[in-house]
Amino acid sequence: MNRLKKTRTISSFTLALLLLSGNVRGGDNEKTTPYVNPFIGTGAVENSLSGNTYPGATVPFGFIQLSPDTRENPEWQEPSGYDYNASKIYGFSHTHLSGTGVSDFFDVMLMPETDDLDVLAKTADYSSEFSHKNEQAKVGYYSVRLNRSDINAELTATTRTGMHRYTYPAEKPNNLVVDLNHSRDKNTWNTRITESQIRKVDDYTLEGYRVISGWAVLRKVYFYAQFSRPIQDLILIANDQAHIGLDVANGSNMRAVLHFAESKDPLLVKVALSPVSTRNAAENMIENPDWDFDKTVAQADNVWEKELSKIRIEGTPVQKEIFYTALYHAFIQPNTFSDSNGEYQTIDYTTRKLNAGDTHYSTFSLWDSYRATHPLYTLLQPERSADFVNSLLRQYDDYGYLPIWQLWGQENYCMIGNHAIPVIVDAVFKNIRNINVEKAYEAIKNSSLRSHTNAPFDTWEKYGYMPENKQSQSVSLSLEVAYNDWCVAQLAKYLGKTDDYNHFIKRSQFYRNLFNPETKFFWAKDDQGNWIEPFDPLRYGGNGGYPFTEGNAWQYLWYVPHDIPGFIELMGGKQAFEKKLDTFFTLKTENGEKNNNASGFIGQYAHGNEPSHHVAYLYNYVGKPEKAQYYVSKVLNELYNNTSSGYSGNEDCGQMSSWYIFSSMGFYPVNPISGIYVLGSPLLEKAVISLPEGKKFTVKAPKTSAEDIYIQSVKLNGLPYNYTYIKHEDIMKGGLLEFKMGKKPSKTWGIKPESSPANLPLSIQEAPKGKPLTELQQEFVDLKFGMFIHFNIPTFMDDDWADPDASPEIFNPVKLDCSQWAKVAKDASMSYGCLTTKHHSGFCIWDTKTTDYSVMSSPFKKDVVKEYVDAFRKEGLEVMLYYSILDTHHKIRPGHITTHHIDLIKAQLTELLTNYGEVKALIIDGWDAPWSRISYDAVPFEEIYYLIKSLQPNCLVMDLNAAKYPAEALFYTDIKSYEQGAGQHISKDSNRLPALSCLPINSAWFWKQDFPTSSVKSPDFIVNDNIVPFNEVYCNFILNAAPNRDGLIDDNAAESLRSVGKLWKNQGHIKPLPTFEKPIISHNIAKFKSVISSWSNDMNIMDFANDDNFTTAWQSNRAVKQPWLEITLGDTPQSFNLITITQQQNNIKKYRLEYFLNGSWHTLFAGTNNDALKIHRFETVKGNKVRIVIENFDAPPAIAELGIYNEK
């Protein structure tokens, strides 16, 4: 079939759909699904690659891909199972891969037949010829008329079920084949079926399974099939032996032929699959409970419309057809791999269960998809992106390192590098929620240190490159591992892990060791450092046995996405780099054997495979944006079309499509984790991207003709924009990017050095930047008045300190209404709420993955934290959270704390600060308090503090520790706090720090049975004894209102609070905070160290000066004229940059601070300081000892604590 005829055949169907939709040009309400043409990429023309896609029915990221197979044993020629050039269909199987270079799956094939049962039982070939004239495909639907039987077959799908509708010709047998032996070619990839079974459950139901090896090492596939009519006759064929009258058969070659009574109504079949069990397959049928085929088709269309309409475009009908089909292909995988009950099969073939609301995914073609597909998901699928990352991390948990190419939950080691690493780092840097960042870092680090197949890191570390005689594909692998190492280094830097950063950033430069300065190519060395000869830059490698992977030296020359400026210099500068690029795009000479993946050529540029995908955009790095625009436009217009050969190479699970999606809008992620998109040549006249929180980012590029491919000027949000890149953060804010296009290159736009992405720093990802701390502290005190909400398992025990072994069964607030809390708080003129997410007994009232001791194990089974934050935000109130470090259930208490406990704390805080939006402040309790005795060393404060700030830089950290530390400074907290009931009272005269005072409206923090009838604090007392006087001295007042066991605030408390709102209104800002020292959060390295002094008072010896107790003190003897105190830090000099001197009485006036190093004393401070608490910050020094020499004092000095710190 010639190309023109094929184009007309496909696009005419699409055009008909567009006309039926009533809108061809486009608009905000135009449906997107009619533009999807599932036949694009399904068959090659003129010996080209096509895309290897399938036309069958699926839903976004679904487990089921129900599609026809046009070969008995599909192989690499049609790895999706379907070839548009074929003339036969062998059946309809339920699982397929989209766009891969290797075939697999094809599970549970059905084929409707009119031949007699005895004929069908004797053959394994049920194929039928078909014609494209009688074939249709659209989102969630496929149909074809089978020529031999004259049966019309229709297919649709839900996430975990496939649905068939077979219309048989009149007066013909209504038979059906169920084939479990159908698979890829069993002569390749060790493909074989080790066991399978078909069982008749009842007259309407079959179930079974097969265990099969192939590209995935071992797969277990379970099915559950229901029929709309009863089975009248059944023949089971096991290992070529036919059995009549059996209800179950087993074997390695299993089929069944079924007969149904003739009917004028179509036969409907529903098939649910599971990777876990037939029971789960049956439970998955809950997705498709009815027998309404058309309704299921409509539901699939609705689901696709929701996803595809996340980008709305304006362009020609053909452009829309290509664009929306590309978006469709990008959203086919990764595939759901967990059942409706949350169970999934792990890589070690065990079964685990997810937390409610989570989904586990597989089919990760990471060598392809990390480049543009996963970055696209971070824009359009942020929630799924978190599930994708967590699915990758689960393989690390069970396997020890992250996936390379994960298929059906198994590792197949296809391709090289470990590109789960950039996927994870990109998600972290783009603030994708619900990712445990510390866990993610652990996974990417260990996956870069633990040697595994095609990743000998010991060799990498030893030689600084991969020697070809030690590791095949050495050049490609060295370049890709160097990039992965750079990604690890960036996350290490983000988390403040300096040693790791230095290690991996050094490894990321190993790429230089394979650059040959004479040939200006990357080339292979042996383990002696010799260049391996002969060298032919045009010769291709495949997947082993040669230094390059699916490419040649020309195509891999440009793979240094993490250090493009450094590589430009290595190449000899910008002019040399540009000249080499020019040659790359124009050199047509071919030499040597070409790999099957090499296609879509422009010179040596091969768009048919991924290593070339970013290269056209590199012209922007040398100030030649017009050349980038030319070649990007050339690829968009010449290497994509709306025919069966619409892709110039394997579609590769969304990557080929994602390149088009980004590039047609005008930008592309050259370095996927950099947060930078490099500008190209926008093809579409308009694109509107729907972003989270209702934001939209619009791109406009109006054109007068198709020749308008060159950018003349750009505006961002109405202002001139001369950069040849745009930042991810600018897109996520929403806004308008406007291109002015023309037929000739601009002589002014984007050519200055400062316009280039090469002008950006190499390491552009830092920890999220927050507001200045002083600004956040001012905002906090300006809130003035808020609601503390003590609601947890003690609510149900009539005791503030709950039994640590109390059963979750008692937690059941059947009438919980957080909106009532929020409305009461609003009526009281409160500005915020703060909920006890976990109190001292360790019960978590959110959907945590860290423990079963949570609300999800209670009868209530709802995330209370989510209900609270949603309700308070709806009323316009700020959200704060309370969290207890002391945890008696999990034994987080003195003498029992382990690294596991610290990891638990980090994981829980990560969940709270990742899954619930912006948290204004985190109030921490049970830490370094006299009654908890958990020190800031046992649970490291500084580590936890920086974790919180890395997750939410604008979140204040407030530790309820005022009972211990002096009132003149912020020790281990951003806000000074006072619990009135514990005898802690702020000075209403002298306080100069941002502060919080707390008090319950009742007699206790948690609800008690007498609360509804007992008195509450009066509105006058609340306002005039607390809010007003505290606000005058920079103190916010938080009043606890404890909900009852139904989950409601009692009427008497609610009424008192409403009266407060009538008596007092928040009239705005408190006066500006005075100047004060920033918080001290580092470890006190002087604590409990050896100390000596001049003559002491007998009852107050020198050991009291660093005993971590501010109520004791060293006091000088009255006879000493120049007292001194000296602390020895150790034999090895210690770094420090902060010293604090806390006195019992403010008697010290003039003194010297000195440190001892290399045999002599050095002065840090000498002079007068009249502060009661003396704080000295200075440049970091090292010393073995520190001493204070007191030269002038009013009375014998008494030092409660001499603190020495090394602040970050």
- With bands split at pLDDT 50, 70 and 90, how would you rate the model's confidence at 724? very high
pLDDT at res. 980: 87
> Which of helix, strand or coil describes residue 597?
coil
Percent of the chain with pLDDT over 70: 96
Query: What average pLDDT does range 1146-1156 have in this prediction?
Result: 95
- CB-CB contact of 389 with 424 (8 Å): yes
pLDDT at res. 220: 97
Alpha helices in 801-898 (DSSP H): 818-827, 864-874
Asked whether residue 2 carries a pLDDT value surpassing 60, the answer given is: no
Interval 697-711: pLDDT, tens: 999 999 989 999 999
Q: Cβ contacts of residue 909 below 8 Å, gap of 6+?
A: 883, 922, 944, 947, 948, 951
- With bands split at pLDDT 50, 70 and 90, how would you rate the model's confidence at 1037? very high
Distance in angstroms (rounded) separating the CA atoms of residues 1172 and 534: 78
- With bands split at pLDDT 50, 70 and 90, how would you rate the model's confidence at 18? very low
β-bridge partners, 165 = 154, 268
Residue 357, judged by CB atoms within 10 A of its CB (0-12, 13-18, 19+), counts as exposed
pLDDT at res. 762: 60
- With bands split at pLDDT 50, 70 and 90, how would you rate the model's confidence at 281? very high
Asked whether residue 1170 carries a pLDDT value surpassing 80, the answer given is: yes
Query: What average pLDDT does range 510-539 have in this prediction?
Result: 96
- With bands split at pLDDT 50, 70 and 90, how would you rate the model's confidence at 1121? very high
Distance in angstroms (rounded) separating the CA atoms of residues 42 and 47: 13
- With bands split at pLDDT 50, 70 and 90, how would you rate the model's confidence at 497? confident
pLDDT at res. 590: 59
- pTM here? 0.72
pLDDT at res. 17: 43
**R_g (Cα) of the chain, nearest Å:** 35
Asked whether residue 16 carries a pLDDT value surpassing 80, the answer given is: no
Asked whether residue 963 carries a pLDDT value surpassing 80, the answer given is: no
Q: If you average pLDDT over every residue of the chain, what do you get? A: 93
Query: What average pLDDT does range 912-921 have in this prediction?
Result: 92
Alpha helices in 430-471 (DSSP H): 437-447, 457-463
Interval 1022-1034: pLDDT, tens: 999 999 999 999 9
Spell out the domains of the chain, with CATH numbers in brackets: 3-308 (2.70.98.10), 312-594+603-759 (3.30.2080.10), 774-1063 (3.20.20.80), 1090-1205 (2.60.120.260)
Closest listed residue to residue 912, CA positions, set 855, 848, 832, 974: 848
CB-hemisphere CA count at 13 Å for 148? 15
- With bands split at pLDDT 50, 70 and 90, how would you rate the model's confidence at 433? confident
Q: How far is CA 990 from the centre of its chain?
A: 48
Strand boundaries in 783-942, DSSP class E:
785-789, 832-838, 878-884, 921-925
Paired tokens of 487: 């990604």
Closest listed residue to residue 1187, CA positions, set 1149, 1159, 1156: 1156
Closest listed residue to residue 952, CA positions, set 912, 907, 924, 923: 912
Q: Which segment of 7-11, 85-89, 969-973 scores lowest on mean pLDDT? A: 7-11
Asked whether residue 1 carries a pLDDT value surpassing 70, the answer given is: no
Pairwise pLDDT comparison (565 vs 984), residue with the higher score: 565
Closest listed residue to residue 39, CA positions, set 160, 145, 132: 132
Query: What average pLDDT does range 1047-1071 have in this prediction?
Result: 93
Interval 445-483: pLDDT, tens: 999 999 999 999 999 999 999 999 999 999 999 999 999
Distance in angstroms (rounded) separating the CA atoms of residues 238 and 596: 38
pLDDT at res. 595: 53
- With bands split at pLDDT 50, 70 and 90, how would you rate the model's confidence at 26? low
Distance in angstroms (rounded) separating the CA atoms of residues 738 and 697: 11
Q: What are phi and psi of 429, to 5 degrees?
A: -65, -25
